[in-house]
Chain A
Amino acid sequence: MNTFASSSSDPIVAQNLVRYFGDVKAVDGINITVKTGEIFGFLGPNGAGKSTAVRMLTTLLRPTSGTATVAGFDVAKHPDEVRRRIGVALQDAAIDPLMTGTELLRLQAVLYGIPQAQMKNRASELLERVGLTAAADRRVGTYSGGMRRRLDLALALIHQPTVLFLDEPTTGLDPMSRMSLWEEVRRLNNEGTTVMLTTQYLEEADQLADRIAIIDAGKIVREGKPQDLKAGVGFPTLLITVPSDQTERAKAVLATFGDMRPTAEGSLGVGLRGGANVVTDVVRKLDEASVRVQHLEINEPSLDDVFAEATGHRLEGAKA
């Protein structure tokens, strides 16, 4: 487990970072500080501004305004110094399908100025680390999605970066591949690499991140340790499903037990002020109001609740 001492040379610091695309404000004045040795999760739905923020921090995009330093260097003023110190695995694992894993690692080694003598060993080490030794001389076009992601991670590590950016590293992966990538990220972090991870998966952020920032419509709406954020939501959420013609009556009953919470379409949610103990009272009151409950569940506060509380809507199709 890492401890995060506050330091004047935090590996990632963004201040009032703004990026416009034409008239669209994709990132709207975000402030982030990532501490040394931390896994920092950047959570938000598609189009929230996560990738744009990461592209600015990794020197691929210039900020419209604001400043950012990564590994101690200003991303706009000293981009090459930043590039030498960071590893980046971008969304979609952009890998040339015509090359083999070994060839790509060697190309990457040359791009980062690794001497010829060390190149071969470094490539072999990394292939072994990500479990691709057997597939090393196969063209990447024949790799599965999980293998591509692992190769992408190996490519990002070729120059032993101190800061690693992972942009939605598990999107589209099956559960096994996802778990295996999580393991690798944890291992890297335990070895001292600071990781910034963007994800739209609540579970991923919850499992991996020491701290998270929730971004929506270009703004950071919550930031903190996952457990603190969840505790901040307070009460558990009671979710019920009722026939559509009884929705209004059900809402009126639920509102007497706490604040209504955003839910997926077709169900109603309330933050139970009295906790799980009052569920039977809720059911009784609903019955008295002639509301037929088709489905009922009670959930402890999740990152989805944090997101919903902060933004007024839930992350699509995701549950912590």
Chain B
Amino acid sequence: MTVATAALAIETTARSRQLSIRQTIAMAKRSTYEIARQPALIAPSMFFPIFFAVLSSSSFSRTTSIPGFPKVESFMQFTLASTIVQGVLFGSVTGAAALATDIEIGFFDRLLLAPTTRTGILLGRLAGSALFGFFQSAFFLAVLVPFHAPITAGIPGALVMVLSGGIVSLAIGAIMSSVAIRTGSAEAVQGAFPLLFVLLFFSSAFFPRETMSGAYKRIADINPISYLVEGLRALVLEGFTFSAVVRSLLVPTLICLAAILFALKELRRKLAAL
């Protein structure tokens, strides 16, 4: 290979990488538009968690004095982290269902017909979910913090929580996208959602693990959602400590990476089977 052809190869690779990034951004933009243009679809994921937070705060306010319950200003403060996780669980299903709809209506084929990065098709869709996750997290904090739910870690802690919410959204979006890619059915994605909801209830989202016992505690101990919620909760209750920041970001990031790798594997499997 001559110097000139090597330089041309490097330039071509750089151009192709640049184009892949441009394509992924364009698909992320589309995914965001879609979410924003379906208010009826996203409203439940915005308001149901708020409603649930208000309801549980008024119903369980006295549980904060149970032995093993952490020191909190109110049950609302305790439930702030679980509201974010609950909201992004709801929200990220919307993005995955949209991917399944793309497959159902043939729009996915249109994307495959173009000389695009296959990874970008998925990552663009997930980026839209992550952006929505950031937005949801910020919305929940803005609405709930004034109601006796202060974040001990302050504004930096709130920013980390928003970031973490986005990553959780990305992780759940990737898991649900795997279902979308495998089944190609929006109904199957929606049908898988109750499983996530069951996982949420069998976690430490609504009560600390220290107050649990028996099978419920054993499930919560191995339930990844417990660790997602507890990472965020550490920022609310403990403050802006190294441990709290790492816990709130590390667990979702690890789950996210595993979920994205799995979703990409599913995509490759689907494309190989064509």
At the interface, yes or no: A113 with Cβ under 8 Å from chain B?
yes
Closest approach, in angstroms, between the C-beta of A62 and any C-beta of chain B?
6
Judged by a CB distance under 8 angstroms, whether A189 is at the interface is no
Let me know if A113 and B110 touch, CB within 8 A.
no
Cβ of B38: which chain A residues have Cβ within 8 Å of it? Answer: 98
**Is there a chain B Cβ closer than 8 Å to A110's Cβ?**
yes
* B66 interfacial by beta-carbon distance below 8 Å: no
Interface residues on B, range: 20 to 34
Q: Mark B22-35, 1 if CB is under 8 A from A, else 0.
A: 11001100100110
A–B pairs, 19, beta carbons within 8 Å = A58-B113, A59-B113, A83-B115, A84-B115, A90-B109, A90-B113, A91-B106, A95-B110, A96-B34, A96-B102, A99-B33, A99-B34, A106-B26, A110-B26, A111-B23, A111-B26, A112-B114, A112-B115, A155-B110
CA gap between A139 and B34 in the complex, in Å = 11
**Residue of chain A at shortest CB distance from B36:** A98
| A309 interface hit (Cβ, 8 Å) | no
Which residue from chain B places its CB closest to the CB of A111 in the assembled complex? B114
Residues of chain A at interface, number, CB under 8 A? 28
What is the CA–CA distance of A41 and B102 in the complex, to the nearest angstrom?
Answer: 29
Task: List residues of chain A with CB within 8 A of the CB of B37.
Answer: 98, 139
Does B274 sit within 8 A of A, measured CB to CB? yes
Distance A118 CA – B192 CA, assembled complex (angstroms): 43
A94 engages B114 (CB within 8 Å): no
Q: What distance in Å separates the Cβ of A96 from its nearest Cβ neighbour in chain B?
A: 6
Chain B stretch 104-131: residues in CB contact (< 8 A) with chain A: 105-107, 109-116
How far is A185 from B142 in the complex, measured between Cα atoms in Å?
Answer: 55
A50-67 residues with Cβ-Cβ distance < 8 A to B are 58-62
A155→B109 CA distance, assembly (Å): 13
Task: Tell yes or no: A80 within 8 A of B by CB.
Answer: yes
| Most chain B beta carbons < 10 A, residue from A60, A62, A83, A107 | A107
CB contacts (< 8 Å) of A61 on chain B: these are: 274
Chain B residue, CB-CB nearest to A139:
B37
Whether the pair B107, A110 counts as a contact (CB closer than 8 A) is no
Q: Is the CB of A107 within 8 A of B109?
A: no
Pick the 6 closest A-B CB pairs, nearest first.
Answer: A94-B106, A111-B114, A110-B26, A83-B115, A80-B115, A98-B37
Chain A 140-172 residues near chain B, CB threshold 8 A? 155
By a CB distance below 8 angstroms, the chain A residues around B19 are: 113
Shortest C-beta distance, B184 to chain A (Å), equals: 13
Q: Which residues of B contact A (CB under 8 A)?
A: 19, 22-23, 26-27, 30, 33-34, 37-38, 102, 105-107, 109-116, 274
Given contacts A60-B112, A111-B111, A112-B114, 7 further A-B contacts (CB under 8 A): A88-B113, A90-B109, A91-B106, A96-B30, A96-B34, A110-B23, A111-B26
CB contact list, A184-241 vs B, under 8 A:
none
Are the CB atoms of B22 and A110 closer together than 8 Å?
yes
CB-CB nearest in chain B for A108: B114
Which residues from B are CB-within-8-Å of A112? 114-115
Let me know if B109 and A60 touch, CB within 8 A: yes
The answer to whether A111 and B30 touch (CB under 8 A), given A60-B109, A61-B274, is: no
Chain A residues near B34: list those with CB within 8 A.
Answer: 96, 98-99
Q: Which residues of B contact A94 (CB under 8 A)?
A: 105-107, 109-110
Q: Tell me, in angstroms, the Cα distance from A268 to B80 when the chains sit together.
A: 78
